[in-house]
Amino acid sequence: MPIASGHDLAGPRPRRTRSTKAIPAEIDPALTDKALAIHARLCPVYGCPIPYFHSLDPLSELVSSLLSHRTRNAESGRAFKALRAHYPDWEAMLTAPVGEIEATIAGVTWPELKAPRLQAILATVRARHGSLTLDFLRDMTVDEARAWLEAIPGVGPKTSAAVLSFSVLRMPALPVDSHHHRVAQRTGLIGPRIDVGPAHPLLRAQLPADWSAQALYDNHEVLMLHGQHVCHHRNPACGRCVLLDLCPEGQARTGGGGTIREP
């Protein structure tokens, strides 16, 4: 099926991980220690290594990531399946009436914006590469591949990292979603004014340069899951959080003793 290219990932492939270009000039060793301590605490809780939830080719992963923006996983998953059922390949979606795509993905947030954006992004990929595939990214470094993707209007650091990490490329990139970002801020890995986009190179740089794709995926997943299940946007459950002694926000909320202070 043209949509899913199905790479053979079994064979060992030497992979350049990243250049020093995206690494902040100064990495505080204390933050690296804290990032590693947080990873070590959360991994047993959420069960590392965490199975990958997708095995899509990178172009399909890009479509899936765009659908998922500000949308619940169940809805974006339904929309993705609907697109695959409706169109034999992404080329067919590229030339389809935009209103038809909008109707097919009606369950996601902002289908009227996402439908034309999906077509524009597919058109950009074809114009820049000559065909509708992103499989060639596997021969780039992570930084090169991210730069290629982020040069597409509408593709930011979270989407580029998701494409490289979640797709069958399984490249060592670190996506940061809103849950991951919230836990990182509250624990002090990043400052309170660092937005999700700029958080990507900072959080990646705190982790060892030679970490595997699986290790980085685990790091993203455990922080994201912790944000979903414990470190809620409202009323984080600091009293039962395994990170409490590492977390300035939790210490402030509990008075340092694990008991949540009433607001």
Residues forming the site for ligand SF4 (CB under 6 A): 183, 186-187, 230-231, 236-238, 241, 243-244, 247, 249-250
Query: In the complex with ligand SF4, which residue's Cβ is closer, 95 or 178?
Result: 178
Give me the least distance between CB of 142 and ligand SF4, in Å please.
28
**Residue placing its CB nearer to ligand SF4 in the complex, 149 or 222:** 222
What is the distance between the alpha carbons of residues 40 and 32, in angstroms, rounded to a whole number? 12
Instruction: Measure the CA angle with vertex 200, ends 189 and 152; round to 5°.
Output: 165
From the CB of 181, what's the least distance to ligand SF4, in Å? 12
Choose among 168, 146, 156, 154: nearest CA to 61.
168
Residue 156 or 188 having the CB closest to ligand SF4: 188
Give the length of the chain: 263
Residues contacting residue 31 through CB under 8 Å, at least 6 positions apart: 189, 206
Residue the block writes with tokens 């982020």:
150
Q: Would you say 122 and 93 are in contact if contact means Cβ atoms under 8 Å apart?
A: yes
Nearer to ligand SF4, 174 or 230 (CB): 230
Least distance from ligand SF4 to the Cβ atom of residue 72, Å: 22
Give burial (CB, 10 Å; 0-12/13-18/19+) of 57.
buried
Q: Please give the residue whose beta carbon sits closest to ligand SF4 in the complex.
A: 250
Burial class (CB in 10 A: 0-12, 13-18, 19+), 40: exposed
Q: Which is nearer to ligand SF4, 60 or 187 (by Cβ)?
A: 187
Question: What's the count of helices (H) and strands (E) in the chain, helices before strands?
Answer: 12, 0
Cβ proximity to ligand SF4, 213 vs 247, nearer residue: 247
Nearest distance, CB of residue 106 and ligand SF4, angstroms: 35
From the CB of 144, what's the least distance to ligand SF4, in Å? 34
Q: How far is the CB of 103 from ligand SF4 (least distance, A)?
A: 40
